[in-house]
């Protein structure tokens, strides 16, 4: 089935018999495994992109629509640190984590507690963070102009890594590893630290956590900071995965990140891993067999999952009563 | 709010009336209206054009203004420019603003087809001639609309023909048999891809084994490159915007795949920008169009490429945000067309301007080559030779024109 | 003293007259403005956003659903109009009917989204609008939609006529809102928004109410999209599905205050006015100011400008 | 006992995942009768109301109202056919005025023509707040408004879910009188309540539930003497 569709786009040449059937079949198998392997690795990067967004949603029940813009800022930071100080992106990634956590705390206290007091904070958060996103984009454009910026590919090594017979860029492997480390660290934070335990308590019920005397605001502020740090780290790798960064890239990143976490399981940061991989693999399959329709995919995935299985994998009610 | 807008409108109307009365005795200034996008997806093609156009305006005013034949003297230029922020809705309003409120004498469109598109019907409706900088959309140029002319890019349907000519000629001689075409699904690159497909099919010498569109927002090409490699084509043509080309060239280098002939639009047309983002080694050997920013045409009018590049670097030092490239040439070149139009037009009447612009067709030679219009206003003069990025010294690349032979200043090296 | 019977009816009549007069003043004002002020497209954009903000008011103000992808209906309308005019060489008015149908068909297809709540609905509707855009703009459909290469409708280009049709759409939309504000049906929608379970227990069919509001809201956007296609006549899919259209309409609505007639009107006149006057003068700081305004609005005035009065117990039309 | 009860519930089952909130509960209710539904927290009383009024779909058993099965029927249809309820925590339409709250119900709930909203508000002593937003009412007034909303649809069967909680003794006694008066007018009432004093004052008969099943039916006086009932109430707290 997939084979036929794959050839639809240039069926006319197939008819002319340019490609013999044997060769075609062989190539198709390569394409399929290549797409799946690349999809898994690419999906790991998207796990990193969505992880922070999901953490914030899980803890605060708000959607940070400026997540993609913080990612962009992480990329800009890495670009700036490299061009002015010659810092290696992996070093920048460490710096970005620290700085972004510290930036996250005041932003949280300025905005979120007040937002959560409103009648429909989940909805209003969309609009509020859209405003934040606009401000970030504007400041970046004013400061740096709107052209593409990037880091030299050689920083993470040039040339392919061959994984199960599929050629992948070295940078993909680096960011997949970074992503895996981030998921692990978030897991350890949530399940092996005191603050993490309190964070999980807030995720279960903010009101009850408040009633038991947990400093809900502090717990949430830290989660918010971690979320920005995760976005920032994803941003450091963005030039290597997405080619370049521009001030207006945030919106597209947000839609994809949201699709990833919805598919994974909203409010469950670790479910993001599953969402990322599903997204990565299906995107690569789309690129292989129906390339011009590839952008339809995150949108359809998102709608389909919300309608058919809104609770994701581990379940949380999102429909109206 | 409304009253403020109204007051503004009245003010402008008064000003316009004033200038209309003064016209026989030459206006105090020639007003030129234009739009630019400082932010959003089109900023990267719009800002170089706008900056270059400003450069021309400043230079002209520094020399005492622009020569206007109708009044037999030099008149300073007043530039009215608004920021449409890449939004077509805003651009539409602003085109209207320039025509109906500011009563500009000459109207210059924003860059690219999307932001030009909304201006086309407005200009036609108000019988205002539109200097279309680089909006190549086929729908803009119709026989019944005399109020538009395309300044620089030739229309997308003829632009790429040297690619297929080269492959059918030297390519075939060296054993190139198959080609893969990967394009971004937008007006600009989509029409070029379709045109190329037509050329290859017409010539019947090189077979297309892969012809796929991807969304313009595509930012990773690893799997696409794997898929193309699996078909083992001799030549690969990737037609995309700047962001697509950056991602494609980086991924191509990372993948380690080698093709005998690889083409990308912006590797040449925005060489500096691409170089910053992908590095020299990923660009070595890549084919591209040779824009006027990398080819020295002998101009009859205005600065040549070297002088213009120097003037640009002086006004916009490298690293200030907007890179030198083909779009900068387009902006400056539009200024030169305006200059020659004013030097020949009988009056500032818009049909007279149309006549003057079309009168330049085939005669005007600038740093962008020969300016030549089809009778519907589409640009057909600007020749864009096929070029190849070849090493020059140790860590520099030079864009060498390799085809057609009469424009070539180097030899193409097709990979093994 | 509670008012009863005749007194209540008289009060209702007074309200309807006041609301209708406001609507009439706006429509006539925008009609007169065209004769006075020659930047017709700016006025046209005002009319468009007035209607879109009120169309969004129908679904958000009265039922609490905020579709981020509202522009999907606008785009469907624009393409509904264009397809009929391009392929069937139909007249512009037939095109407008097609615009309405296209938006309604899309709304029916998306009805299941109403099962989602809050942010999920908002995001899913945005994804839906993007999906429609991806389909319309796909080069594989070039023969039908012209794909990414854009639409040209110069045959039916009629800026003056289409301006007045846009005014008629605005009038229709304003009357819809007047009706919803003063009818039992509108009241039942607000009841659903406040508490859908309780509304069902008042005998209100929740599904039916939401569906009607959703279709009406989509119809308005579809008509506006259709008249946009007609008025502008050359456009790309990016233009017709520009997410900024949703966002502008949403911000205008929230800034003024949803559920009222005046709120969205104020939002458009003030914010879009600022956008056109100041936004042109200092554009680079404009996006920042806009963003900051949105943040402050959500934090300090989540119910919009009109809440300055309604919080003091003053009824705002 | 009348030959044809207005409401007949037989072996009603409702599951949430693996948990059986209702595990085959059965009872009946006649016009003009007030039936108390009592039991520890989590015994399934509110679930029972939610199923009868169409909020939840039953997983088994039958509900017969006025001689026909109403399982699977939509809430707003049931309201029009004469079933209504109040909520444990009141759910008025906060952005509407008090009068509009009742007006919506009176318009969509199909009461007899000429239904007098203002008379109802006066009866329930809400008339002086008629033009105020419901959000301004205190919680006792909101409960009364909830009752008014239900009464505006002129129900024949009213399901009352913990109306008494949070009321002061004077309000409690007035509320009890109102419910009795409704029953005397021929309405059937199903009253879920924890306050035994209130149950005693209002109901004719009680059904005691535990773990999703009824296990006692009769008068409250008999129930308080039943050793099984005592055991459940004293030892059955962990069910909740």
Structural domain contains residue C283: no
- Which of helix, strand or coil describes residue A20? coil
Output the furthest CA–CA distance in chain C (Å, rounded): 68
Q: Does residue C251 belong to any structural domain of this protein?
A: no
Same domain, yes or no, for D65 and D102?
Answer: no
- Residues D27-39 have a mean pLDDT of 88
Cβ of residue C294 closer than 8 Å to a chain A Cβ: yes
* Higher pLDDT among residues D233 and B106, named by residue: B106
pLDDT confidence of residue A243: 85
Mean pLDDT check: name the lowest of A255-264, B385-394, C119-128, D2-11: D2-11
Same domain membership, residue D39 and residue D126 = no
The reply to whether residue A31 touches residue B230, judged by beta carbons under 8 angstroms, is yes
Q: Is there a single domain that holds both residue D100 and residue D58?
A: no
Q: Which helix (H) or strand (E) holds B86?
A: none
Residue C185: inside a domain, yes or no?
yes
Q: How many CA atoms lie within 13 A of C44 on its CB side?
A: 29
Is C190 within 8 Å of chain A by CB?
no
**Does any domain span residue D2?**
no
Q: Does the structure show a pLDDT above 80 at B320?
A: no
Is C29 an 8 Å CB contact of chain D?
no
CB B260 within 8 A of CB B415: yes
User: Among the three residues D136, D154, D172, which one is the final residue of a domain in this structure?
Assistant: D154
b/e map B242-275, b = 16+ CB within 10 Å: bbbbbbbbbbbbbbbbebbbbbbbbbbbbbebbb
pLDDT of D196 reads 82
Q: pLDDT tens across A250-289, in order?
A: 888 888 898 898 888 887 888 899 999 999 999 999 988 8
Whether the per-residue pLDDT at D227 is higher than 90: the answer is no
Overall average pLDDT of the D61-72 stretch: 89
Tell me the residues of chain C between 39 and 98 that have a Cβ less than 8 Å away from chain D. Answer: none
Mean pLDDT of chain B: 88
What DSSP character marks residue C57? I
CB contact under 8 A, A147 and B322: yes
Q: Is C249 left (phi over 0), alpha (psi -120 to 50) or beta?
A: alpha
Say if the Cβ atoms of A154 and B279 lie within 8 Å: yes
What's the mean pLDDT in B82-92? 86
Q: Which residues of C touch D104 (CB under 8 A)?
A: 184, 187-188, 191, 199, 202, 204
Q: Pinpoint the alpha helices (H) of chain C.
A: 5-36, 40-56, 62-63, 71-88, 92-109, 118-136, 142-145, 159-182, 184-194, 196-200, 206-232, 237-240, 243-256, 262-267, 273-281, 283-300, 307-310
Q: Does C64 touch chain A (CB under 8 A)?
A: yes
Which residues make Cβ contacts (< 8 Å) with residue D187, sequence separation at least 6? D31, D32, D155, D156, D157, D158
Instruction: Name the residue among D93, D127, D150 with its Cβ closest to that of C2.
Output: D127
- pLDDT for residue B116: 93
Residue C146 inside a domain? The answer is yes
- Residue A89 is predicted with a pLDDT of 92
- Of residues D201 and B40, the one with the higher pLDDT is D201
Q: Do B185 and C137 touch (CB under 8 A)?
A: yes
- CATH number (domain holding residue D50): 3.40.50.300
State both tokens at C240: 């017709």
Quote the tokens at residue C206: 């929740």
Residue C215 lies in domain = 13-242
**With bands split at pLDDT 50, 70 and 90, how would you rate the model's confidence at D3?**
low
Which residue is associated with the tokens 């009024």? Answer: D53
Q: Which residues of A touch B257 (CB under 8 A)?
A: 167
- Given a cut of 90, whether residue A136 has pLDDT beyond it is yes
Specify whether D193 is located in the same domain as D208: yes
Number of domains comprising chain C: 1
- C117 in contact with A, Cβ within 8 Å: yes
Helix A250-264, helix A67-85: angle, nearest 10: 120
Share of chain B above pLDDT 70, in %: 94
Report CB contact under 8 Å: D76, C191. Answer: no
Bridge-partner residues for C10, per DSSP? none
Please tell me what DSSP assigns to residue B183. Answer: E
Q: Are D and B touching by the rule of 3+ CB pairs within 8 Å?
A: no
Q: Which two tokens stand for residue B310?
A: 């120097």
pLDDT for the residue numbered A185: 94
Q: Which of B211, B219, B226 sits opposite A34 (nearest CB)?
A: B226
Say whether both D179 and D229 belong to one domain.
yes
C190 vs D: CB within 8 A: yes
C82, C285 Cβ separation under 8 angstroms: no
Residues D217 and D110 in one domain: no
Q: What is the Cα–Cα distance from C67 to B282, expressed in whole angstroms?
A: 44
Shortest distance, CA C211 to any CA of chain A (angstroms): 15
For chains C and A, having 3+ Cβ pairs within 8 Å is answered yes
Residue B323 to chain C, least CA–CA distance (Å): 19
Mean pLDDT on B258-282: 90
Q: Are residues D148 and D159 in the same domain?
A: no
Domains of chain B and any CATH numbers: 2-155+296-370 (3.40.50.2300), 161-295+385-403 (3.40.50.2300)
Tell me, what DSSP letter sits at residue A319? B
pLDDT-derived band of residue D110, with 50, 70 and 90 as boundaries?
A: confident
Tell me the shortest Cα–Cα distance from C61 to chain A, in angstroms: 13
Residue C129 maps to a domain: yes
Q: Are residues D167 and D226 in the same domain?
A: yes
Q: Which of B87-101, C103-117, C168-182 has the lowest mean pLDDT?
A: B87-101
Give the separation between CA B98 and CA A315, rounded to whole angstroms: 56
Categorise residue B369: left if φ over 0, alpha if ψ from -120 to 50, beta otherwise.
left
DSSP A167: E
Nearby residues of B334 by Cβ (< 8 Å), 6 or more positions away? B49, B53, B56, B108, B131, B133, B151, B152
- What is the rounded distance in angstroms from the CA atom of residue D231 to the CA atom of residue D227? 6
Residue of B209, B223, B232, B321 best to disrupt the A interface, most CBs of A under 10 A: B223
Region A179-199: mean pLDDT is 93
The answer to whether residues D21 and D60 belong to one domain is: yes
> Does the structure show a pLDDT above 70 at C279?
no
Number of domains in chain D: 2
Give yes or no for residue C2 having a pLDDT over 80. no
Residues of D in contact with C199 (CB under 8 A): 93, 104
Has residue B14 got a pLDDT over 50?
A: no
> Domain range spanning residue D139?
91-154
Range of A6-20, C153-167, C268-282 with top mean pLDDT: C153-167
pTM for this model (two decimals): 0.87
Greater confidence (B234 vs A308) lies with: B234
Instruction: Determine the distance from the C-alpha atom of residue C257 to the mean position of all C-alpha atoms in its chain, rounded to a whole number.
Output: 14
Q: Where residue C69 falls among pLDDT bands split at 50, 70, 90?
A: very high
User: Are the beta carbons of D31 and D203 closer than 8 angstroms?
Assistant: no
Chains A, B: CB pairs < 8 Å: 162
Same domain for D67 and D179? yes
Strands B386-391 and B287-289: antiparallel
Q: Which of D102, D121, D154 is the last residue of a domain?
A: D154
Last residue of a domain, one of D132, D154, D176: D154
Q: What is the pLDDT of residue A142?
A: 82
B100 touches chain C (CB under 8 A): yes
Average pLDDT, chain D: 85
pLDDT bucket at B198, cuts 50 / 70 / 90 = very high
D237 confidence band (pLDDT: 50, 70, 90): very low
Mean pLDDT along residues A135-162: 83
- Smallest Cα–Cα separation from A231: which of A68, A81, A92, A80? A68
Q: What is the pLDDT of residues B355-371, one digit of tens each?
A: 999 999 999 999 988 89
CB nearest to B278's CB, from A153, A172, A292? A153
Question: pLDDT digits over B219-241, tens only?
Answer: 889 889 988 998 999 999 999 98
Closest CA–CA distance from residue B118 to any residue of chain C (Å): 6
The reply to whether C307 falls in a domain is no
| Cross-strand partners of B365 | B370
Q: Specify which residues B181 forms β-bridges with.
A: B211, B237
D12 and D75 in a single domain? The answer is yes
Residue D1 falls inside a structural domain: no
pLDDT at A17: 34
Shared domain for D166 and D229, answered yes or no, is yes
Rounded distance between C-alpha atoms, residue B367 and residue B386, angstroms = 17
- Could B215 and C40 be called an inter-chain contact, meaning their C-beta atoms sit closer than 8 Å? no
Instruction: Give how far Cα B325 sits from Cα of B216, B259, B312, Å.
Output: 21, 27, 10
Instruction: Tell me how close the Cα of C288 comes to any Cα of chain A, in angstroms.
Output: 4
Max mean pLDDT range (A93-107, B285-299, C293-307): A93-107
């Amino acid at each position: 089935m997939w084979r036929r569709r794959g050839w639809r786009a240039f069926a006319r040449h197939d008819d002319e018999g340019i490609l013999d059937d044997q060769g075609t079949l062989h190539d198709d198998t390569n394409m399929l495994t290549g797409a799946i392997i690349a999809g898994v690795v690419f999906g790991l990067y998207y796990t990193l992109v969505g992880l922070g967004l999901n953490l914030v949603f899980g803890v605060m029940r708000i959607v940070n629509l400026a997540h993609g813009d913080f990612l962009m800022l992480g990329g800009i930071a890495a670009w700036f640190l490299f061009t002015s100080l010659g810092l290696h992106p992996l070093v920048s990634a460490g710096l970005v984590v620290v700085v972004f956590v510290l930036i996250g705390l005041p932003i949280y206290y300025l905005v979120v507690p007040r937002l959560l007091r409103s009648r429909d904070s989940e909805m209003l958060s969309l609009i509020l963070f859209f405003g934040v996103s606009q401000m970030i984009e504007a400041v970046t454009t004013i400061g740096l102009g709107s052209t593409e910026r990037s880091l030299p590919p050689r920083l993470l090594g040039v040339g392919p890594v061959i994984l199960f017979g599929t050629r992948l860029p070295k940078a993909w492997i680096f960011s997949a590893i970074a992503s895996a480390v981030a998921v692990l660290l978030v897991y350890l934070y949530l399940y092996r630290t005191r603050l993490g335990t309190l964070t999980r308590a807030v995720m279960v019920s903010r009101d009850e956590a408040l009633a038991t005397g947990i400093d809900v605001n502090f717990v949430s502020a830290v989660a918010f900071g971690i979320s920005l740090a995760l976005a920032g780290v994803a941003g450091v790798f963005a030039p290597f995965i997405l080619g370049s960064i521009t001030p207006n890239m945030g919106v597209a990143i947000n839609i994809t990140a949201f699709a990833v976490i919805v598919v994974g399981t909203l409010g469950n940061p670790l479910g993001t891993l599953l969402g990322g991989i599903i997204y990565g693999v299906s995107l690569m399959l789309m690129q292989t067999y129906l390339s011009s329709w590839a952008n339809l995919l995150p949108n359809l995935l998102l709608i389909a999952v919300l309608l058919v299985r809104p609770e994701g994998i581990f379940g949380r009610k999102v429909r109206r009563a | 709010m409304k009253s403020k807008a109204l007051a503004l409108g009245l003010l402008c109307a008064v000003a316009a009336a004033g200038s209309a009365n003064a016209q026989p005795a030459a206006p105090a200034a020639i007003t030129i209206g234009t739009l630019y996008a400082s932010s959003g997806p089109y900023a990267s093609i719009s800002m170089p054009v706008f900056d270059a156009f400003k450069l021309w305006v400043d230079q002209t005013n520094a020399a005492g203004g622009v020569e206007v034949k109708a009044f037999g003297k030099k008149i300073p230029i007043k530039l009215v420019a608004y920021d449409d922020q890449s939004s077509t809705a805003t651009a539409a309003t602003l085109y209207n603003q320039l025509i109906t409120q500011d009563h500009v004498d000459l109207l210059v469109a924003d860059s690219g087809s999307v932001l030009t598109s909304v201006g086309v019907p407005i200009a036609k409706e108000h019988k205002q001639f539109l200097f279309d900088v680089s909006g190549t959309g086929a729908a803009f140029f119709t026989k019944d609309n005399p109020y538009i002319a395309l300044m620089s890019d030739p229309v997308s349907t003829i632009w790429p023909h040297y690619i297929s000519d080269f492959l059918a000629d030297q390519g075939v001689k060296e054993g190139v048999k198959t080609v893969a075409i990967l394009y971004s699904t937008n007006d600009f690159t989509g029409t070029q891809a379709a045109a190329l497909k037509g050329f290859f099919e017409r010539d019947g010498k090189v077979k297309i084994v892969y012809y796929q569109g991807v969304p313009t927002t595509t930012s990773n090409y690893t799997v696409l490159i794997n898929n193309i490699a699996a078909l083992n084509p001799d030549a690969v043509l990737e037609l995309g915007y700047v962001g697509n080309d950056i991602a494609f060239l980086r991924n191509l280098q990372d993948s380690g795949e080698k093709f005998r002939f690889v083409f990308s639009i912006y590797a040449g047309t925005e060489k500096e920008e691409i170089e910053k983002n992908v590095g020299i080694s990923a660009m070595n050997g890549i084919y591209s169009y040779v824009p006027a920013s990398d080819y020295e045409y002998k101009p009859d009018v205005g600065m040549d490429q070297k002088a213009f590049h120097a003037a640009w670097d002086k006004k916009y030092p490298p690293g200030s945000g907007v890179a030198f490239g083909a779009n900068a040439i387009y902006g400056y070149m539009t200024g030169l067309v305006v200059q020659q139009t004013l030097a020949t037009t009988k009056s500032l009447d818009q049909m007279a301007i149309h006549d003057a612009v079309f009168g330049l067709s085939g005669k005007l030679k600038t740093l962008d080559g020969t300016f030549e219009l089809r009778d519907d206003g589409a640009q057909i003069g600007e020749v864009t030779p096929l070029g190849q990025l070849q090493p020059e010294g140790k860590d520099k690349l030079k864009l060498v024109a390799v085809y057609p032979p009469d424009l070539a200043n180097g030899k193409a090296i097709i990979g093994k | 003293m509670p008012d009863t019977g005749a007194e209540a009816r008289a009060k209702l009549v007074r309200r309807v007259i006041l609301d209708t007069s406001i609507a009439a003043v706006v429509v006539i004002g925008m009609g007169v403005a065209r004769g006075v002020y020659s930047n017709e497209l700016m006025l046209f954009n005002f009319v468009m956003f007035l209607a879109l903000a009120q169309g969004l008011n129908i679904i958000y103000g009265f039922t609490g659903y905020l579709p981020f992808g509202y522009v999907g209906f606008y785009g469907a309308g624009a393409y509904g109009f264009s397809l009929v005019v391009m392929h069937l060489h139909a007249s512009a008015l037939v095109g407008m009917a097609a615009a309405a149908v296209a938006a309604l068909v899309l709304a029916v297809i998306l009805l299941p989204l109403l099962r989602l709540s809050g942010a999920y609905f908002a995001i899913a509707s945005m994804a839906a609008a993007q999906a429609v855009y991806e389909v319309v703009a796909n080069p594989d459909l070039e023969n039908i939609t012209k794909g990414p290469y854009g639409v040209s409708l110069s045959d039916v280009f009629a800026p003056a006529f289409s301006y007045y049709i846009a005014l008629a759409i605005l009038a229709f939309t304003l009357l819809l809102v007047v009706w919803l504000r003063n009818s039992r049906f509108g009241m039942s929608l607000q009841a659903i928004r406040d508490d859908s379970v309780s509304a069902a227990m008042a005998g209100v069919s929740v599904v039916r109410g939401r569906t009607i509001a959703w279709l009406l809201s989509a119809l308005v956007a579809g008509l506006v999209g259709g008249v946009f296609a007609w008025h502008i006549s050359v456009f790309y899919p990016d233009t017709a599905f520009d997410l900024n259209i949703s966002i502008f309409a949403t911000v205008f609505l929230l800034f003024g205050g949803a559920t009222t007639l005046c709120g969205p009107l104020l939002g458009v006149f003030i914010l879009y006015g600022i956008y056109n006057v100041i936004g042109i003068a200092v554009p680079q700081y404009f996006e920042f100011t806009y963003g900051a305004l949105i943040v402050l609005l959500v934090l300090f005035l989540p119910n919009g400008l009109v809440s300055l009065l309604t919080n003091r117990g003053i009824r705002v039309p | 006992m009348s030959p044809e009860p207005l409401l007949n519930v037989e072996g009603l089952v409702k599951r949430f995942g693996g948990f059986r909130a209702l595990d085959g509960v059965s009872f009946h209710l006649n016009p003009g009768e007030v039936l108390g539904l009592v039991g520890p927290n989590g015994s399934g009383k509110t679930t029972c109301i939610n199923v009868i009024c169409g909020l939840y779909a039953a997983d088994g058993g039958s509900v017969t109202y006025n001689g026909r099965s109403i399982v699977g029927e939509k809430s707003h249809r049931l309201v029009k056919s004469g079933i209504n309820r109040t909520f444990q925590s009141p759910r008025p339409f906060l952005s509407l005025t008090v009068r509009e709250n009742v007006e919506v119900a009176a318009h969509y709930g199909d009461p007899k023509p000429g239904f007098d909203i203002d008379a109802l508000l006066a009866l329930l002593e809400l008339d002086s707040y008629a033009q105020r937003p419901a959000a301004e009412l205190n919680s006792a007034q909101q409960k009364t408004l909830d009752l008014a909303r239900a009464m505006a649809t002129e129900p024949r069967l009213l399901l009352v879910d913990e109306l008494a909680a949070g009321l002061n003794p004077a309000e409690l006694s007035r509320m009890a009188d109102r419910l009795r008066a409704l029953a005397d007018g021929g309405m059937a009432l199903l009253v879920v309540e924890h306050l035994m004093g209130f149950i005693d004052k209002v109901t004719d008969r009680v059904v005691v539930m535990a773990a999703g099943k009824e296990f006692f039916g009769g008068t409250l006086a008999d129930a308080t003497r039943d050793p099984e009932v005592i055991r459940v109430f004293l030892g059955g707290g962990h069910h909740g």
